Amino acid sequence: MLPLIAWKNIWRSKRRSLIMITAIMLGLWGGLFAVGLFTGMYDTIVNSSIDRDLTHLQVHAKGFREERLITMSLPEPDSLCAVIRSIPGVQAVSARSVIDGMGSSPS
């Protein structure tokens, strides 16, 4: 009985009910669109950071992450790259130099 009375009350003012239903639908659609957009942006940022900056795996000399000195290089990097390439499942290997620096000028 109560649902029947509620249903009749909803459609007593059709214009108000249609406006509210439309507003709710637009709000839900906007929320779902925003969540999808932000999730896609987040995934893109994470994937581009891994592909361009971080990589999936990095090999450093012991203590390099704390000190970041240019003298802390790996001995025989070409042979190390060859060993890593021989591991099954490795798609690509690249040797990179990471150097922190500071520029200054008299002006």
Q: What single letter denotes the amino acid at residue 85?
A: R
pLDDT for 2-60, tens place per residue?
999 988 888 888 899 999 999 999 999 999 999 999 999 999 998 888 777 777 788 88
pLDDT above 70 covers a percentage of the chain that reads 99
30 in any annotated domain: yes
Q: What angle do CA 44, 45, 46 make, to 5 degrees?
A: 90
pLDDT for 59-95, tens place per residue?
888 888 888 888 888 888 889 899 999 999 988 888 8
pLDDT at 65: 80
Q: Are residues 62 and 44 in the same domain?
A: no
Within 8 A by CB and 6+ apart from 77, the residues are 95
Q: Are residues 5 and 26 in the same domain?
A: yes
Q: Are residues 5 and 40 in the same domain?
A: yes
Within 8 A by CB and 6+ apart from 98, the residues are 68
Q: Provide the whole-model pTM.
A: 0.49
43 in any annotated domain: yes
- Which domain does 86 fall in, by range? 56-99
pLDDT at 33: 98
Residue 94 three-state SS = coil
Whole-number Å distance between alpha carbons of 3 and 10: 10
Q: Are residues 46 and 66 in the same domain?
A: no
User: How many distinct structural domains can be found in the chain?
Assistant: 2
